[in-house]
């Protein structure tokens, strides 16, 4: 796809200027993306490899830009976070994910929890709790079909306030997961005090569990930690059967990764759900 947005700034040949302008253009475009229906939710199944069951799915945002083509969330989420637009974006993802889950239930499809990613600004926003409560009520959706993925960085910032928010979500019945676990700064002491349900082992550890004894040790330790704290544990970025076998032997039996399925559009995931859950 031709990059028209960038061509219009060609008279600036300095790379930094272009980067700044590019980001500014992206930020402007992003504000239009919701109205113009350019955003889409993709779904990546979480699998139990022993039974072949789909036990849930992570919701991942996709942006089909009219000129740039698919823009990765790795590019536009940081732009949205910096501009504050992430607040609207997060609210949109929450609502869409819950609407889709409601639709599936109405159609009598197999029901799986959907996990959404929250940025710090989403988690700290005063509308978060009322928004979630209202969305679940309006759609008559069971709260345990909503999983919230938060990073360690978000959790460790202002611990007392974090505990309050987590407890309120927990009281609502929402399922709480720590994303990219092990990559951020987390105090094991606080981890114990947070009312959490799940740890997600980051892909960076899973990637080399077969070749790197340190990554293998860290991964095994995270699984042990989760078990001792009575938390579920999910491995992300599982790409090979060797990795899956290692994880299973260590007691982690929920996995997400290209070995099973890449993130996919709604219709494809629906077909997967309908084709009798087993993969
Ligand atoms: P994440 O939350 O850690 O999501 C997992 C990322 O790993 C996804 O990238 C997924 O496509 C990718 N992935 C899954 N399995 C594999 C695998 O086996 N191998 C490899 N190489 N990659 C795998 P994606 O979709 O590009 O999203 C990137 C990041 O963007 C996410 O990382 C998350 O931090 C952020 N993001 C995506 N959607 C949202 C959203 O709605 N809100 C917020 N705040 N952040 C989002
Ligand atoms: Ca995530
Ligand atoms: Ca992750
Ligand atoms: Ca990650």
pLDDT tens for each residue of 83-123: 999 999 999 999 999 999 999 999 999 889 999 999 999 99
155 lines ligand 1 (CB under 6 A): no
Tell me, rounded to whole angstroms, the distance of Cα 71 from its chain centroid: 17
Lowest model confidence (mean pLDDT) among 30-34, 88-92, 266-270: 30-34
Q: In the prediction, which pLDDT does 39 show?
A: 97
Q: In the prediction, which pLDDT does 44 show?
A: 98
Average pLDDT over residues 47-63: 96
> Which of 43, 78, 116, 117 to probe ligand 1 with, by most ligand atoms within 8 A of CB?
117
Q: In the prediction, which pLDDT does 96 show?
A: 97
Q: Residue 275: pLDDT band by 50, 70, 90 thresholds? A: confident
Instruction: Work out which ligand 1 atom sits closest to the CA atom of 86.
Output: 44
Residue 278 has pLDDT above 80, yes or no: no
Average pLDDT, the chain: 91
Closest residue by CA, ligand 1 atom 7: 237
Residue 10 has pLDDT above 50, yes or no: no
45 lines ligand 1 (CB under 6 A): no
> Which of 33, 60, 148 to probe ligand 1 with, by most ligand atoms within 8 A of CB?
60
Q: Is the ipTM of this complex over 0.90?
A: yes
74 lines ligand 1 (CB under 6 A): yes
Average pLDDT over residues 176-183: 94
* pTM of the full structure: 0.92
Closest residue by CA, ligand 1 atom 22: 237
Residue 16 has pLDDT above 60, yes or no: no
């Amino acid at each position: 796809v031709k990059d028209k947005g960038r061509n219009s700034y060609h008279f600036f040949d300095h790379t930094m200027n272009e980067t700044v302008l590019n980001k500014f253009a992206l930020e402007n475009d992003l504000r239009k993306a919701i109205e113009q229906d350019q955003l889409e939710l993709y779904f990546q199944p979480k699998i139990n490899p022993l039974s072949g069951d789909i036990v849930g799915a992570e919701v991942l945002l996709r942006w089909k830009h009219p000129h740039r083509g698919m823009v990765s969330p790795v590019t536009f989420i940081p732009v949205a976070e910096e501009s504050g637009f992430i607040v609207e974006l997060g609210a949109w993802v929450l609502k869409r994910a819950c609407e889709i889950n409601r639709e599936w239930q109405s159609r009598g499809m197999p029901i799986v929890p959907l996990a959404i990613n929250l940025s710090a600004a989403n988690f700290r926003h005063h509308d978060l709790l009322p928004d979630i409560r209202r969305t679940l009520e309006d759609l008559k959706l069971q709260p345990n079909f909503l999983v919230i993925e938060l990073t360690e960085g978000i959790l460790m910032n202002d611990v007392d306030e974090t505990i309050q928010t987590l407890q309120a979500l927990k009281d609502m019945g929402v399922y709480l997961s720590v994303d990219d676990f092990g990559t951020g700064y987390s105090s094991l002491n606080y981890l114990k005090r947070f009312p959490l349900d799940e740890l997600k082992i980051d892909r960076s550890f899973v990637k080399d569990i077969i070749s790197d004894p340190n990554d293998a040790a860290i991964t095994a330790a995270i699984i042990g930690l989760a078990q001792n704290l009575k938390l579920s544990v999910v491995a992300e970025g599982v790409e090979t059967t060797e990795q899956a076998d290692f994880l299973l032997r260590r007691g982690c039996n929920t996995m997400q990764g290209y070995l099973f399925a890449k993130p996919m559009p709604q219709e494809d995931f629906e077909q997967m759900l309908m084709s009798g859950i087993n993969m």
